[in-house]
Amino acid sequence: MATLTEGFLWYVVFLFSTTFHEAGHAFVAMKLGDRTAYYGGQVSLDPIPHIRRSPFGMVIFPILSFVLGGWMVGWASTPYNANWAYQYPKRSALMALAGPISNLLLILLSALLIHIGIALGFFQVPTNIVFSHVTQASHSGIVSALAMLVSILFSLNLILFVFNLIPLPPLDGSAMVPLLLGENKARAYMEFISNPAYMFLGLFIAWKIFGYLFSPLYLLFINLLYPGNSFM
């Protein structure tokens, strides 16, 4: 029963966080001149349009990853006009940046909720930190479920934030590089990384190095969340 509850909370947070991430891409693209995702229904916190576009990444893979690993990961995607992106590489890069920024906002929201919970006496600083227990409930029942919910919100969005910032295609980090380049070099770069072979290679390398990158960053964010506690 506890595992089912935890799995349900992971999926609720995953669905919301991934939808929020993709809606961030879609909203910024719409504001900067590409309404492709808007017409596809992605400028929305309704997860249904995102699930319809990526059913395996939004439903099947997250459940499999939780069953096999005890935490949840998956993916979705936002449609955009490739001609628009090529014509306006800087705008395209800002669209890419919007996804990780969305996850950062949810990290900050979860941190705020954790500290509000501590101030009200509902939560407390745990002795050991794991993904589902970044904060600890002062008593059982609904407060325990809320503590797990905000813990997962913090951890999952940090995972999404860090992973998507890796500057390898097809991740958002690679699509943000044109912000640092001139227009012509940005277009040449975009053509280069659009090769499907580089996308598969980029995902493989990113997955291999993610653990080395994430562990120290997770510890850093935990110590920023609880200054003075020196988690190691």
Contacting residues for 78 by C-beta, under 8 A, at least 6 apart: 22, 25, 26, 29, 37, 42
> Residues 81-117: pLDDT tens digits?
999 999 999 999 999 999 999 999 999 999 999 999 9
Judged against a pLDDT cut of 80, whether residue 204 lies above it is answered with yes
Of the pLDDT bands very low, low, confident and very high (cuts 50, 70, 90), residue 140 is: confident
Q: Which pLDDT score is estimated for 33? A: 97
Task: Please count the other Cβ atoms lying within 10 Å of the Cβ belonging to residue 64.
Answer: 14
Global pTM reads 0.94
Judged against a pLDDT cut of 90, whether residue 27 lies above it is answered with yes
Task: Please count the other Cβ atoms lying within 10 Å of the Cβ belonging to residue 148.
Answer: 23
Judged against a pLDDT cut of 60, whether residue 179 lies above it is answered with yes
Domain ranges of the chain: 2-225
Closest of 221, 204, 231 to residue 161, by C-alpha: 221
Judged against a pLDDT cut of 70, whether residue 119 lies above it is answered with yes
Judged against a pLDDT cut of 70, whether residue 2 lies above it is answered with no
The span from the CA of 113 to the CA of 107, in Å, is 10
pLDDT over 90, % of the chain: 88
